[in-house]
């Protein structure tokens, strides 16, 4: 197996620098606009942080490729090939960032031959750093992470995120899915406004499962490595292998809870990152 430890070290340094930019930007007035829908927000800071991350990585690794949330929104093709590729969300939880709601992260994933190799997620408000490299474990501020071993869904805490579509038909399915999770019954359902940080809570064992329709490859890439290295499962909402570009995911500490969630879900079609605008 190739050793990508230098890439992990570089990603950590860049995530910390990017996090500092986010920390100072959160205190300033924000220039907010919207992208795919009125609730899909972007700020100047998202662009600034993505530019910082990509230009620093490009200088270090000129042959590598990049998928970034804001570059993709600007029309750069979102394509995962066999080439070493960095997958970046400069500010995950942009709506939280706009409101200074303290759940905002920088997420940097890295894939080679379409296999996710490493992930770094930095929580910009509390300074928590999640890191993982395939085959080498997952860590939170240097302490090894372990997913929840709970198999009984009636003792599970479930996380999800809403996604950008708010038309009545989509909301009916979204609320129907949430109703099924609540009436299992589970201990509860939580929405924190940041897919990457919610997924980190699966890795740390603070919650048992996560599901979402409508997130993007840059929301999943780093977190998938962190969850898998913490002993968890990350998959398609049908229960099959994760398709990074499919805009849907189920993650869980145990296969039993993942299977339960998969069986409950009614799909919401968000298209794909690699084909749809």
Catalytic site residue from 89, 161, 229, 273? 89
The reply to whether 117 sits near ligand IPD by the rule CB under 6 A is: no
Site string for ligand IPD, 192-221 (x = CB under 6 A): -xxx------------------xxx--x--
Tokens 């570089």 locate to 10
Nearer to ligand IPD, 68 or 232 (CB): 68
Q: State whether residue 275 is helix, strand or coil.
A: coil
Residue 56 is among the residues annotated as catalytic for this protein: no
Verify whether residue 89 is a known catalytic residue.
Answer: yes
Residue 95 DSSP one-character state: H
CB of 270 to ligand IPD, least distance (A): 9
**Closest alpha carbon to 14 in 77, 79, 61, 78:** 61
Q: How far apart are the C-alpha atoms of 49 and 272, rounded to whole Å?
A: 24
Q: How many CB atoms lie within 10 A of CB 119?
A: 33
Mask: binding to ligand IPD, 58-97, rule CB under 6 A, as x and -?
-----------x-------------------x-xxxx---
What is the phi/psi pair of residue 211, to 5°?
-140, 150
Q: From the centroid of its chain, how far is CA 215?
A: 8
Q: How far is CA 263 from the centre of its chain?
A: 22
Catalytic residue among 46, 70, 219, 229, which? 219
Q: Which is nearer to ligand IPD, 41 or 116 (CB)?
A: 41
Q: Give bridge partners of residue 66 from the DSSP assignment.
A: 86
Is 115 a known active-site residue? no
Respond yes or no: is residue 69 known to be catalytic.
Answer: yes
Distance (Å, rounded) from C-alpha 157 to C-alpha 207?
A: 5
Q: Which of 50, 161, 229, 243 binds ligand IPD (CB under 6 A)?
A: 161
Report the nearest approach of ligand IPD to the CB of residue 12 (Å): 20
Distance CA 122, CA 37 (A): 26
Residue with smaller CB distance to ligand IPD, 135 or 191: 191
Tell me the window of 9-17, 139-147, 187-195, 222-230 that interacts with ligand IPD (CB under 6 A).
187-195
Q: Which residue has the tokens 């929405």?
A: 191
Total residues found in the chain within this entry:
277
Query: Quick one: which of 19, 109, 119, 163 contacts ligand IPD (CB under 6 A)?
Result: 163
Which of 98, 162, 184, 206 is close enough to bind ligand IPD by CB under 6 A? 162
Residue 259: CB minimum distance to ligand IPD, A: 23
| Sequential DSSP letters for 254-267 | SHHHHHHHHHHPPP
Query: Is 236 considered catalytic here?
Result: no
C-alpha distances (whole Å) from 43 to each of 14, 125, 273 are: 20, 17, 21
Supply the minimum distance, in Å, between the C-beta of residue 4 and ligand IPD: 24
Residues with catalytic roles: 69, 89, 91-92, 94, 219
Per CB under 6 A, residues contacting ligand IPD are 69, 89, 91-94, 161-163, 193-195, 214-216, 219
């Amino acid at each position: 197996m190739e050793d990508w430890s230098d890439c992990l070290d570089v990603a950590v340094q860049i995530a910390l620098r990017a996090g500092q930019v986010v920390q100072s930007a959160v205190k300033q007035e924000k220039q907010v606009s919207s992208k795919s829908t009125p609730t899909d927000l972007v700020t100047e800071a998202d662009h600034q942080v993505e530019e910082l991350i990509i230009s620093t990585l490009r200088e270090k690794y000129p042959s590598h490729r990049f998928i970034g949330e804001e570059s993709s929104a600007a029309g750069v093709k979102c394509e995962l090939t066999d080439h070493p590729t960095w997958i970046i969300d400069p500010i995950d939880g942009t709506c939280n960032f706009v409101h200074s709601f303290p759940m905002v992260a920088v997420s940097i994933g890295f894939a080679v031959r379409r296999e996710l190799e490493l992930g770094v997620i930095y929580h910009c408000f509390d300074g928590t750093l999640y890191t993982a490299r395939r085959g080498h474990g997952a860590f939170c501020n240097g302490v090894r992470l372990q997913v929840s071993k709970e198999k009984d869904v009636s003792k599970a805490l479930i996380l999800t995120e809403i996604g950008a579509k708010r038309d009545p038909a989509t909301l009916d399915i979204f609320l129907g899915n949430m109703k099924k999770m609540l009436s299992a019954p589970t201990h509860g359902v939580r929405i924190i406004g940041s897919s990457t940080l919610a997924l980190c809570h699966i890795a740390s064992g603070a919650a048992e499962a996560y599901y979402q329709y409508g997130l993007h490859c840059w929301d999943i890439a780093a977190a998938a490595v962190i969850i898998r290295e913490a002993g968890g499962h990350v998959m398609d909402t049908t229960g099959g292998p994760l398709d990074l570009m499919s805009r849907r995911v189920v993650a869980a500490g145990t296969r039993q809870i993942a299977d339960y969630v998969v069986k409950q879900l009614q799909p919401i079609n968000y298209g794909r990152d690699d084909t749809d605008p």
